[in-house]
Amino acid sequence: MGHASGAADPRRRAPARRAPRGDGRPRARGGGAVGHAGGHRDADRGGARGLLFNRRFLPAVLAQEARLSRQHGSQFGVLMIDIDHFKRINDALGHHAGDSVLASVAGVLMQHVRASDFVFRYGGEEFLVILGEISPTDLLARAEVIRAAVEAFRYADVGTRVTVSVGGALYDGHPDYERTVRMADELLYEAKRAGRNRVAVTPA
């Protein structure tokens, strides 16, 4: 069971910004390829704030973060974020409102991550955030900041509040680094079972 906190059917997909063409890796806003070698941790990672990445770049970023975590003796975190009752929004207000909510939630996420973090459109009403070099305490705090920010945002096309459930997991050094995503997904559903608009993260 994870640590929990908080207050509580895919349709159409809002477009995700694709990384620039080049060597096939996502690039930071300044143009440097993600994973570019350098002597400093932040230089290694680059910065991606303000970019919404397509899911197809996720394996490359996960591999990079696993490598950097082993290299620096640190952990990276994964947050899986799902918009609560999104199907109801689509059914009651139409796909235009649903698409507007997706775009607004993406904007809120990108405003509340660090410059070196990565935000992905994962599919349907789900987003995924990768946070490099983060502690268990900070992972929980960041997840709660995101949850609260989404709830507080005023959505122009929706006459009710919008909330998200968040599951968070830390990379534990296992060779199968993609299992961190699976762990975050399991914790997301733990948050939903607890009543939605909740955060559930892996224990310290």
Catalytic center residues: 125
User: Is 22 contained in some domain?
Assistant: no
User: Is 31 contained in some domain?
Assistant: no
What is the rounded distance in angstroms from the CA atom of residue 68 to the CA atom of residue 50? 22
Q: Please report the pLDDT score of residue 4 as a whole number.
A: 58
User: Is 20 contained in some domain?
Assistant: no
User: Is 118 contained in some domain?
Assistant: yes
Residue 119 belongs to what domain range?
47-201
The domain spanning residue 98 has which CATH number? 3.30.70.270
Among 16, 81, 86, 92, smallest CA distance to 55 is for 16
Q: Which residue has the higher pLDDT, 6 or 123?
A: 123
Q: How confident is the model at residue 51 (pLDDT cuts 50, 70, 90)?
A: confident
Residue 152: how many other CB atoms lie within 10 Å: 10
Question: Is 13 a residue whose pLDDT tops 60?
Answer: no
- The domain total for the chain is 1
